[in-house]
Amino acid sequence: MHDHASGVRGASNRRLLTVSLVITASVMIVQIVGAVLTGSLALLADAGHMFADTAALVIALVASIIASRPAKDRRTFGYQRAEVFGALINGVVLIALSVWIAVEGVSRLLNGGDHEVAGGLMLVVAVIGLIANAVAMWLLSAAQRHSINVRGAYLEVLGDLIGSAMVIIAAVVIVTTGWAGADALASLAIAVLIVPRAIALLREAASVLSEAAPDSVEVAEIRAHIVATPGVQTVHDVHVWQLTRGAPVFSAHVVVDEACLRDGRGPAILASLQECLADHFDVEHSTFQLEPADHLEHGAHA
């Protein structure tokens, strides 16, 4: 029953992510066209911001689809690392885009903000973006409470909503005062919003690819839980890494009382350890090697 509910929820989340992706990508294209027609750097920056959201939604959608695919002999962990490579590419593109926007924005300000911008059309396009982001947030609002994957996409759209609001403010200033420098200021503000996201993506991708332990996993606490299991003496060769965001993997050698192995209690200890990691640390994939004490001494001597 639980598996069926999870499958239904996963399919529902994928539908929501797909609809949000279509909305975000469509508005991104509208903003790019609007930026070309109006000469607005802020609209182009906001389109870059929406590109980040579009990429995040694609990554979230791909991750959701991949999670439902079984592993194969040549891909024993499946294709979950594809999400990490996508995030890495996304981060590099965002950094490059932010630098270009910042340079262009500063250049326009130094030139006195006299670059011609069609404020009226800029305002219309920005309002369309704001409405579209609000709709996408509404679609994701319920599911984001139950899925970390959807939660990430929800926060991305929230950031884009803020970017659209900045463009609207700049457009209003241009329409009412004629000062085009507001467009450059808005573009710089949006670039500032993009940079932390890009850095976070690059750091996360580097952490996963270097097989570092996830930030959310306390290895010392896991050790303590394992040693506290009845029949366990100690634990060594502990390794924790993650295939992609939210998919930690754990392995360890566990030294148990010889009496437990003689009495056939090994399978019960193994089940208890795996249940502990799944319930307390959200680690669904764990591998334990149970060993008697003399095996540990032999290994240490070797």
pLDDT digits (tens, 9 = 90+) for 273-297: 998 888 888 887 888 998 887 765 5
The answer to the question of residue 214 being in a domain is no
Collect all residues with Cβ–Cβ distance below 8 Å to 123 and sequence separation of at least 6: 168, 171, 172, 175
Residue 301 is predicted with a pLDDT of: 42
Collect all residues with Cβ–Cβ distance below 8 Å to 296 and sequence separation of at least 6: 234, 236, 253, 255
Q: Are residues 75 and 191 in the same domain?
A: yes
The answer to the question of residue 240 being in a domain is yes
Task: State the Cα–Cα distance between residues 112 and 109, nearest whole angstrom.
Answer: 5
Contact at 8 Å (CB) between 147 and 20? no
Residue 113 is predicted with a pLDDT of: 57
For 87-91, 118-122, 129-133, 149-153, which range has the lowest pLDDT when averaged over its residues? Answer: 149-153
| Domain span including residue 253 | 219-301
Q: Residue 292 maps to which CATH number?
A: 3.30.70.1350
Q: Are residues 118 and 254 in the same domain?
A: no
Residue 302 is predicted with a pLDDT of: 41
Phi-psi region of 70 (alpha: psi -120 to 50; beta: other; left: phi over 0): beta
The full 3-state SS of 97-164, as one line of letters, equals HHHHHHHHHHHHHHCCCCCCCCHHHHHHHHHHHHHHHHHHHHHHCCHHHCCHHHHHHHHHHHHHHHHH
Task: State the Cα–Cα distance between residues 90 and 84, nearest whole angstrom.
Answer: 10
Contact at 8 Å (CB) between 113 and 179? yes
What is the amino acid identity at position 136?
A: A
In the predicted structure, residue 30 carries a pLDDT above the cut 70: yes
> Could you tell me the pLDDT band of residue 163, with boundaries at 50, 70 and 90?
confident
pLDDT, tens digit (0-9, with 9 covering 90-100), for 264-275: 888 888 889 998
Q: What would the two tokens of residue 37 be?
A: 């027609």
pLDDT, tens digit (0-9, with 9 covering 90-100), for 76-101: 666 667 677 777 877 888 888 889 88
> Could you tell me the pLDDT band of residue 33, with boundaries at 50, 70 and 90?
very high
Q: Are residues 203 and 242 in the same domain?
A: no
Q: Are residues 14 and 153 in the same domain?
A: yes
Residue 231 is predicted with a pLDDT of: 86
Task: State the Cα–Cα distance between residues 174 and 238, nearest whole angstrom.
Answer: 60
Collect all residues with Cβ–Cβ distance below 8 Å to 220 and sequence separation of at least 6: none
Q: Are residues 50 and 89 in the same domain?
A: yes
Q: Which of 209, 230, 260 marks a domain boundary? A: 209
Residue 252 is predicted with a pLDDT of: 92
Residue 264 is predicted with a pLDDT of: 84
Residue 98 is predicted with a pLDDT of: 87
Q: Which of 209, 228, 256 marks a domain boundary? A: 209
Sheet strand arrangement including 285-291: 232-242, 248-256, 285-291
In the predicted structure, residue 59 carries a pLDDT above the cut 80: no
Is pLDDT larger for residue 11 or for residue 156? 156
Q: Are residues 200 and 245 in the same domain?
A: no
Q: Are residues 56 and 136 in the same domain?
A: yes
Q: Are residues 174 and 223 in the same domain?
A: no
Q: Are residues 132 and 242 in the same domain?
A: no
The answer to the question of residue 98 being in a domain is yes
The answer to the question of residue 224 being in a domain is yes
89 burial level (CB within 10 Å; 0-12, 13-18, 19+):
middle
Is pLDDT larger for residue 281 or for residue 38? 38
Could you give the percent of the chain with pLDDT greater than 90? 18
Q: Residue 97 maps to which CATH number?
A: 1.20.1510
Helices (H) and strands (E) in the chain, counts: 10, 3
Q: Hey, CA dihedral for 36, 25, 62, 150, is it positive or negative? A: positive
Q: Are residues 254 and 184 in the same domain?
A: no
The answer to the question of residue 34 being in a domain is yes
Question: Quick one: average pLDDT of 63-82?
Answer: 64
How many domains are there within the chain? 2
Contact at 8 Å (CB) between 25 and 159? no
In the predicted structure, residue 210 carries a pLDDT above the cut 50: yes
Q: Are residues 138 and 237 in the same domain?
A: no
Q: Are residues 152 and 32 in the same domain?
A: yes
The answer to the question of residue 106 being in a domain is yes
Q: Which of 209, 238, 259 marks a domain boundary? A: 209
What is the pTM assigned to this prediction? 0.70
